[in-house]
Amino acid sequence: MATGSAVEEAKGPQPVARSPRRRSTPPEQGPVGSVRFFLAKAGVNGTVPSLDRKIATEGEAKIESLKTGLNYYSVIEWRATADFAGKNPQVRSEPVKR
């Protein structure tokens, strides 16, 4: 009986293994000028996005959304490009810069 507790004491605290996490990039840290923010139109049911007023930054969009009770949208414009560098051609997406 005493040997079991001595073995546990000798081990000490075990390190906790952490799983690697993927970090998502916040929209404001994307390519400059590619993300735009809009308030939703009032009185729309929300099945189809209806954009109303353009807002300069995500922070301002959050505040306006909180004040008005409306949702806000973030919009990123993309352009498809062909990449023929390797054996297999690939289609890549790149954000459009304003």
4-63 pLDDT, tens per residue? 555 555 666 666 666 666 655 554 455 556 799 999 998 887 688 889 999 999 999 999
With a cut of 50, say whether residue 91 has pLDDT above it. Answer: yes
What pLDDT, on the 0 to 100 scale, is given for residue 43? 83
Q: Is the pLDDT of residue 89 over 80?
A: yes
Cα gap 64→82, rounded to integer Å: 39
Read off φ and ψ for residue 22, nearest 5 degrees.
-85, 135
Q: Which is higher by pLDDT, 93 or 14?
A: 93
What pLDDT is stored for residue 27 in this prediction? 46
